[in-house]
Structure 1
């Protein structure tokens, strides 16, 4: 077997070949370190329109309360125009038409306030239900944000691990390339010595064959032993092959880590985009939650005020068969004003509320007090 011009086994692996495989690109900012995406936490807040002020239920409640105020004003007007002054009994002091108007307006007032109460209760319930839904959804989004944060942390760690592996492998490959170059030189030197020894062996063999008929001369030509040179070629060739195999293996590992790094970086981009979307959703939901909490805080006293107003009106008008029972009409005015304040829109009631502030209440009170005084005097004279 001839070892002349022995070459490395891997003909595609040449000294001076690029360390990285074809098509693999290192990141631009550092020889071996890829930029690691950073979490994005700055999200513009979402402005949510004020639900309470713009809700159609609020307009319905306002309309019902305005009608109730008008009913009360009509009642005051009727009661301030008696046709007689015969005592405490309404039916005796007012015309049948006035009594009919009084009772009709009382019924309408109760109906309007009850309708406002039903609307406010349904509104309050709907806001509470929506608030619970928002709170549940917010909890889910925050859990998803936590999962995304964990995913980003894991992704970042894997990117760093692959970058580190590429850097270490590249450093190893640089050293291995140097070893391969030295091994190749050693192989070339051994090959040269082998070739020289082989040539000398062939020359001596040729000379011996030519002088075979001159025994004493042929015997004088010593046989050239090239075993050592042949062993040197074999051993250095083995080293070259081993270095080539190791270098190829590390190049394949770099290519594998490079592909994994590219995949992880793309996953990181997706994770960050998902996180940004979730954070925006969280801000939006928190804004809605805050607004609904505020609406709930407005609605709770509104509902209480409407129910209180219904009770006061019922006390004043529900048993309004005598003038004395109407003494609570002042309480009706106070209750109505508290309800209007809870609706946060006194401007809508300016005209209607003005009548509640006029002298009608005072004149009615004066009349009631006079009747009570006369009734008391009558009882004392009995």
Structure 2
């Protein structure tokens, strides 16, 4: 009876009900859009950074990350690579052989980071082919190399010239070769642009006397939220034979900056919640004050305060549920639209993104937990305001209420 009576009561004054529900719905929409924008931008930032080089996960030789020595390389069989590729949510598996060497041309010698790659797999992951500024991309079985533009300028080499690599190979063997420059690539970060040289994986293994060996395998997944599940599957597969590192371990600066920004975002969200509290409470207080005479009459004719308080509390609960439901329904299409059509930056902001090799987009997240969590928080806030009509009914004086 109480539930039916409360539901009918809230529709006796449709204007008042719609105002209250709209205030809750608007609060849900603002909270959802704000959090979706934050988490969406973080996911896009992580994906773009991982795609540039490291991947979400890397399988490495034991102790390789600490000293970056080719002696810490490993052998990963084709069968193991195929098994990794079949793990759910894994989108690419990219093997590499990385080491350091002297790079010389004429009288100029610089230290460069040499990376042996599978040209097809590397392009699939990082889009390296699109970064070729001069010359051509590496053919699959090429004996040439790609050199970063900054390093090429320091060595004063161009496409068609040859450079000499001289360094230490696997287990102290001498690594030396003279290779032609097939292409020059423009990389987004100065540290990379001033020091990288790409060879095919087979050629790098030959030059550095490391047949069949790699130092790492970069793994990309479809969404960062699946990282934990993929990592667990990888752990079971490799049995601690190799090191397994995640993007946040390889890029701690990015992880810390996201954590800091997320903390400030949560503070802004708390401020928003405080504004929502005052907004919803003001609406409920207005609704309750408008019904002072009605409450006075009901108590005067013998209705128990407990029953009246129960009905008014249920009315507030209905309004909160209705507003949260409407807010959720309105938020979902907006979030999905902005996810499918992200906001594109222009001007200086766009140039800053493009300089890092990242498409200048402001992305939103479609994680359903965002909508659920924000709707739940706003719903709880709205339900907490039910205390006001409850206390109001218990303290009301019928005589004063009727006079008012």
Place the TM-score, normalised by the shorter chain, in its bin: under 0.3
The structure in which a higher percent of residues are helix is 1
How high is the TM-score relative to the length of structure 2? 0.23
Higher strand share: 2
Q: Who wins on radius of gyration, i.e. which is larger?
A: 1
- Larger relative contact order (CA 8 Å, sep ≥ 6): 1
Normalising to structure 1: TM-score of the pair? Answer: 0.24
